[in-house]
Amino acid sequence: MKIFLKTEDEIELMRAANLMVGATLAEIRKAIKPGVTTRQLDKIAEEYIRDNGAVPTFKGFPNPCGGEAFPASICTSVNDEVVHGVPNDTPLREGDIVSVDCGILLNGYNGDSCYTFSVGENSEEVRQLLQTTKEALYRGIETALPGRRIGDIGYMVQQHCEAHGFGVVREFVGHGIGQQMHEDPPVPNYGRRGNGPQIKNGLCIAIEPMITMGSPKVYLTSDRWTVKTQDGKPAAHFEHTIAIHQGRVDILSSFEEIEE
């Protein structure tokens, strides 16, 4: 495992990239309503990213499962789709949820963040799933202090979600990030305290709970990208990129514009 610790200058470059991801997600938020397709959301994202001098890193990303490269600029995972949903022409409906995962490259550094949006009004159960997943993200972030271990982050996420009766997906995890979208170390959303690589100043990671309403078991669909829950129940996904520096946690991405 080769972990690249970042300098203060590199962290500022990563902040710029991640804030642009947040701004892109905020543009997408304006368009989300019943009747809109995820392909339309993808078009909005790609135009915004390129107009602002960045590159959508997901587009053309090699398929680790041996299929075609990723065809779009964002991942749009609807309802029982957990991650890596491919934008399509199916209109969103009232009561749906859609997780939009966005990655960009700006000035040589990557930004990566995800937000699960409601399409109109959701059931109380779905609202609880979204709230718990987002809370778990922030609990994981608060844990990521110098001297602790990567396993401490996963432990906090897992404990919070399972205490509320939700499932924690095992097959997909967070990751280090920098000049590459995916760097060491892997950052699971489950784990044991005191396990894994030590958290140090200069570490930049993406923490991204992927949480299911029912069983955590998932499967890969025929497009070789989209991952769904086996029981057909919905899943939520929230992600922030963070830096550990000056002895504290610094969230580089932002949900502020999205939630205004």
- The whole-number pLDDT of residue 65 equals 84
Which pLDDT belongs to residue 67? 85
What pLDDT score does 66 carry? 84
Give the chain's residues under pLDDT 70.
none
Residues comprising the chain, all counted: 260
- Domain map of the chain by residue range? 8-259
Q: Which two tokens stand for residue 133?
A: 């997943």
Q: What is the topology classification, in CATH, of domain 8-259?
A: Creatine Amidinohydrolase (3.90.230)
* pLDDT for residue 260: 86
Residues 65, 51: Cα–Cα separation, whole Å = 32
> For the segment 37-60, what is each residue's pLDDT rounded down to a tens digit?
999 999 999 999 999 999 999 999
**Identity (one letter) of the amino acid at 222?**
S
